[in-house]
Amino acid sequence: MQINDILPKEIDAIIFDLGGTLLHFDYPFISAELQKVNFQIPQDDFYLAVARANHEVERQMSLGLGATDHARLPIFFNALLRELNAPVDAEHFIHTTLIPRHTEVNLWNYVPAGTIDLLQSLRKKYRLAMISNSDGRAEQKTIQFNLREHLEFVIDSHFVGVEKPKKEIFDMACEKLRVPASKCVYVGDIYAIDVVGARNAGMSAILLDRTLPQKNDCLVIKSVFDLPKFLL
């Protein structure tokens, strides 16, 4: 399938996910904690493990588990530690290190260099917005990391009472933009949540997945930094 068959010919708006897309799982913090037990993991390998942990989240969802973003969190944590093969007791590490850190500052707390430049480039051609399954902190995090000024709005599932992949949250974004779904592209990192939800709402989607799985209904790229190849 050609790219022109996956992305619309006319795109007015790009809508981003937050965690795992613009704001990433906190590699500096996790790697520092794992170094305390003499375990080192290169950043590229770490984020490959994150992508594989996302696949486990999707598998659990297909079994009827992890129906909400909150319920998916321990599934993701356990899967990530298995993928990393980290020499820690998973339950202890999750409850004494990961959950307290997430409660305090949110573990999706790392913006790779170049992200702001990317948004500035895209903003010259497209309207930009965000939909996030979050706990009420999504907009605050975009402000903290200087992402917010490049987005027209942030829709946080905590405040609107509906989560991706339900189409209603995508419909809200289209209504706020006053742009038809057919002219919007959604960018996210979990197929069952981001791509399925966007397509149910009539949007095209771009999946970020370092494992580069074969998908017939969306463009798959390794990171947001690959977007200019297809959108600029």
Domain boundary among 83, 107, 131: 107
In the structure encoding, which two tokens stand for residue 109, read together? 């707390």
Q: Cis before residue 87, ω within 30 degrees of 0?
A: no
Would you state the pLDDT for residue 6?
86
Is the pLDDT at 52 greater than 50, yes or no? Answer: yes
Cα(87)–Cα(84) distance, integer angstroms: 9
Would you state the pLDDT for residue 1?
46
In order of 10, 116, 143, 176, the CA distances from 146 in angstroms are 28, 8, 5, 22
**Domain region containing 95:** 25-107
Cα(22)–Cα(16) distance, integer angstroms: 8
Pair 80, 168 in one domain: no
Q: Which residue has the tokens 């942990």?
A: 53
Within 36-68, where are the H helices? 43-62
Pair 186, 83 in one domain: no
Domain boundary among 107, 131, 146: 107
pTM: 0.96
Cα(176)–Cα(3) distance, integer angstroms: 28
3-state DSSP of 108-172 = EEECCCCHHHHHHHHHCCCEEEEEECCCCCHHHHHHHCCCHHHCCCEEEHHHHCCCCCCHHHHHH
72-109 burial code (b ≥16 CB/10 A, e <16): bbbbbbbbbbebbebebebeebbeebbeebbeeebbbb
Pair 153, 140 in one domain: yes
Q: How many domains does the chain have?
A: 2
Pair 94, 175 in one domain: no
Pair 73, 119 in one domain: no
Pair 136, 41 in one domain: no
Pair 169, 136 in one domain: yes
pLDDT tens column, 7-25? 999 999 999 999 999 999 9
Domain boundary among 107, 128, 158: 107
Pair 11, 60 in one domain: no
pLDDT tens column, 181-199? 999 999 999 999 999 999 9
Is the pLDDT at 27 greater than 80, yes or no? Answer: yes
Per-residue pLDDT band for 3 (boundaries 50, 70, 90) equals: low
Is the pLDDT at 2 greater than 80, yes or no? Answer: no
Q: Are 198 and 186 in contact (CB under 8 A)?
A: yes
pLDDT tens column, 83-140? 999 999 999 999 999 999 999 999 999 999 999 999 999 999 999 999 999 999 999 9
Pair 207, 103 in one domain: no
Specify the pairing of strand 24-25 against strand 108-110: antiparallel
Pair 121, 180 in one domain: yes
Instruction: Compute the mean pLDDT over every residue in the chain, rounded to the nearest whole number.
Output: 96
Mean pLDDT of 28-53: 97
Query: φ, ψ for residue 212 (rounded to 5)?
Result: 50, 60
Cα(172)–Cα(188) distance, integer angstroms: 17
Pair 207, 222 in one domain: yes
Would you state the pLDDT for residue 42?
97
Pair 206, 182 in one domain: yes
What CATH number does residue 153 fall under? 3.40.50.1000
